[in-house]
């Protein structure tokens, strides 16, 4: 079997693994962007048989990505299931896992490379270890990557001479310095290679990754490097004067990740295009608190219910009663979902992500609780698969653990609604049965943000009424 045929398939841990589709099948469905190999016949120079590995599309919306830490270096053997490289997608940082044998001959995109278009060459794979040395001088131009980038320039050169004359006549003198500025090469921001857990701990401790020396593969920063880090006291003590002189302009420029860029674009689009309105309800938490304590007391370690688990279940049940809120706006039509796939906002070191509790209306509280804990942990570690956070029909954002009384959330398009959950607070309420005439009762405020294109105000109010009914009578959730 030839090298071309031998390396014709690849598996991603992120998408389509569960469906058993091969890369060849995916290419026929999703087009050329899902192809990760290029044939070697294009190379102008003479190289042994090889395959060029292209930037993969690890999500349906991914058009470009960043290169994280390489799990292999040139000359290393690759076995099925090995992690070749970390890819920063528009949703999360994910492992690119290989399912073929071979040897990594050349890395074409170093760690820290950003905005690499899907389909561009990133590495070279060979069948025989003896062929690795022949690729020492192999470049991205040899792989055909530079031609795609230079295509616009070539088209510009082929313009008619008359157009060039018109441009010269119309061009003002101020274009000369502008041209010099354009010719100045922009230096890309360097990305530090670090494991997800190392990033999270460093972020929590306020440790800059650029000051840590990694001991992992290819200098990758791992957890023990962060734990062993000590701030350079001598350097801090030696420069007090310059710090005071520049105190008025002290700041840090943080590079924008693909994930943060997409979050910003989507939320800006949502706020500008979806006509938001908000309805708020105050809910008594007395019965839920008692039921939760009773159920956790007899859990025997099998589960530990949180208030958010009850919120997810109650929202799913309310969506069954008010299905208009379980919908999405698609311009020409409104899609009404038949299952309550609840997206739950989780904060991670790299940004917000929304893992999904699927078919929450058909699941018990213990199942919801255990799934949410697993999804939340893997979300913070950057280990979620695309199908675990893409989609969803309704979103819940809970800031109650931070002591926030109430807030309004931005709708996650194309969904129609998002429920903002605040903290539980003790409130004095009227109680005719008490000698004092009042009592202290735990209350929680929830605010529903709705898209008025799909959900009218009265419908949003009906949802909150139904949600409150289930929250204040939690035994109905057990039926």
**Neighbouring-strand partners of residue 419:** 396, 448
Q: pLDDT tens digits for 122-180?
A: 888 888 888 888 888 888 888 776 444 334 444 444 444 444 444 444 444 444 444 44
Residue 269 neighbours by CB under 8 Å, 6+ apart: 413
* 258, 64 contact by CB (below 8 A): yes
CA pair distance 11, 81, nearest whole angstrom = 9
Q: How many helices (H) and strands (E) does the chain have?
A: 14, 19
Q: Give 187's DSSP letter.
A: P
Residue of 295 and 217 predicted with greater confidence: 295
Q: Which of 18-27, 151-160, 208-217 has the lowest mean pLDDT?
A: 18-27
How many Cβ atoms sit within 10 Å of the Cβ of residue 99? 17
Q: pLDDT tens digits for 43-64?
A: 446 788 888 888 887 776 678 8
pLDDT of 261:
83
Residue of 222 and 1 predicted with greater confidence: 222
CA pair distance 186, 27, nearest whole angstrom = 34
Identify the active-site residue in 49, 286, 381, 452: 452
Q: Is 452 a catalytic residue?
A: yes
CA pair distance 39, 34, nearest whole angstrom = 15
> How does residue 291 score in pLDDT terms, banded at 50, 70 and 90?
very high
- Whether the pLDDT of residue 116 is over 60: the answer is yes
pLDDT of 304:
95
Identify the active-site residue in 115, 405, 431, 456: 456
Q: Distances in Å between the alpha carbon of 174 and those of 166, 170, 179, 328, 358?
A: 17, 12, 9, 50, 59
* 100, 6 contact by CB (below 8 A): yes
Q: For residue 287, is the peptide bond before it cis, meaning its omega torsion is within 30 degrees of 0? A: no
pLDDT of 32:
38
Tokens 């979050």 belong to: 263
- Average pLDDT of the segment spanning 83-92: 78
Q: Distances in Å between the alpha carbon of 419 and those of 62, 65, 415?
A: 27, 31, 12
Q: pLDDT tens digits for 329-384?
A: 999 999 999 999 999 999 888 788 999 999 999 999 999 999 999 999 998 888 88
Torsion of CA 309, 463, 335, 91, to 10 degrees: -40
* 56, 118 contact by CB (below 8 A): yes
Helix axis angle for 286-297 and 307-321, nearest 10°, is: 120
> How does residue 36 score in pLDDT terms, banded at 50, 70 and 90?
low
- Whether the pLDDT of residue 77 is over 80: the answer is yes
Q: Cα 101 to chain center, whole Å?
A: 29
* 429, 441 contact by CB (below 8 A): yes
Q: Radius of gyration (Cα) for the chain, nearest Å? A: 28
* 438, 415 contact by CB (below 8 A): no
Q: Which of 97-111, 314-328, 439-453 has the lowest mean pLDDT?
A: 97-111
What are the structure tokens assigned to 324, written together?
């208009």
pLDDT of 86:
85
Identify the sign of the CA torsion 166, 168, 170, 171.
Answer: positive
* Strands 394-398 and 342-344, sheet pairing: parallel
Give the percent of the chain with pLDDT over 90: 38
- Average pLDDT of the segment spanning 388-411: 94
Q: Is 337 a catalytic residue?
A: no
What are the structure tokens assigned to 338, written together?
């038949």
Q: pLDDT tens digits for 224-249?
A: 888 888 766 544 444 444 444 445 67
**What global pTM score does this model have?**
0.61
Residue ranges of E strands in 229-287: 276-284
Closest CA to 405 of 394, 418, 420: 420
CA pair distance 427, 285, nearest whole angstrom = 11
- Name the helix (H) or strand (E) containing 240: helix 240-245
Q: pLDDT tens digits for 136-145?
A: 888 888 877 6
CA pair distance 425, 408, nearest whole angstrom = 18
Closest CA to 284 of 406, 441, 404: 441
Q: How big is the CA angle at 216 (ends 95 and 82), to the nearest 5 degrees?
A: 35
* 392, 412 contact by CB (below 8 A): yes
């Amino acid at each position: 079997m030839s090298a071309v045929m031998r390396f014709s398939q690849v598996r991603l841990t992120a998408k389509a693994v569960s469906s058993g589709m091969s890369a060849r099948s995916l290419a026929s469905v999703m087009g050329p962007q899902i192809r990760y190999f290029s044939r070697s016949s294009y190379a102008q120079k003479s190289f042994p048989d090889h395959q060029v590995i292209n930037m993969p599309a690890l999500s349906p919306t991914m058009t470009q990505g960043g290169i994280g830490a390489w799990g292999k270096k040139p000359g290393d053997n690759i076995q099925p299931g090995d992690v070749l490289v970390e890819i920063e997608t528009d949703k999360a940082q994910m492992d690119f896992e290989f399912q073929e044998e071979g040897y990594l001959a050349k890395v074409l995109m170093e760690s820290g490379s950003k905005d690499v278009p899907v389909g561009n060459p990133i590495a070279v794979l060979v069948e025989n270890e003896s062929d690795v040395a022949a690729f020492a001088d192999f470049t991205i131009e040899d792989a055909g990557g530079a031609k795609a980038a230079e295509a616009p320039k070539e088209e510009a050169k082929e313009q008619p001479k008359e157009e060039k004359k018109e441009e010269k006549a119309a061009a003002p003198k101020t274009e000369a310095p502008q041209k010099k500025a354009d010719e100045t090469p922009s230096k890309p921001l360097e990305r530090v290679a670090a494991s997800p857990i190392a990033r999270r701990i460093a972020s929590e401790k306020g440790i800059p990754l650029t000051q840590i020396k990694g001991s992992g593969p290819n200098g990758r920063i791992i957890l023990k490097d962060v734990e062993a880090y000590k701030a350079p006291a001598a350097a801090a003590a030696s420069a007090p004067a310059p710090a005071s002189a520049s105190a008025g302009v002290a700041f840090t420029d943080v590079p924008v990740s693909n994930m943060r860029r997409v979050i910003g674009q989507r939320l800006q689009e949502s706020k500008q295009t979806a006509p938001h309105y908000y309805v708020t309800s105050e809910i008594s938490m007395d019965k839920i608190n008692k039921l939760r304590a009773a159920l956790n007391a007899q859990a025997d370690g099998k589960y530990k219910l949180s208030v958010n688990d009850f919120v997810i279940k109650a929202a799913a049940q309310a969506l069954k009663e008010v299905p208009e809120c379980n919908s999405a706006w698609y311009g020409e039509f409104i899609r009404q979902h038949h299952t309550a796939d609840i997206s739950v906002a989780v904060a991670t070191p790299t940004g917000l992500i929304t893992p999904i509790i699927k078919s929450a209306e058909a699941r018990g509280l213990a199942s919801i609780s255990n799934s949410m804990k697993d999804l939340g942990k893997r979300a913070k570690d950057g280990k979620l698969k695309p199908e675990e956070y893409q989609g969803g029909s309704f979103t819940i954002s809970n800031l109650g653990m931070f002591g926030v009384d109430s807030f309004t959330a931005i709708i996650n398009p194309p969904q129609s609604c998002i429920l903002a959950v605040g903290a539980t607070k003790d409130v004095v309420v009227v109680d005719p049965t008490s000698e004092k005439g009042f009592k202290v009762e735990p209350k929680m405020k929830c605010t529903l943000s709705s898209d008025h294109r799909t959900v009218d105000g009265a419908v949003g109010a009906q949802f909150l009424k139904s949600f409150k009914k289930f929250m204040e009578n939690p035994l109905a959730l057990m039926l």
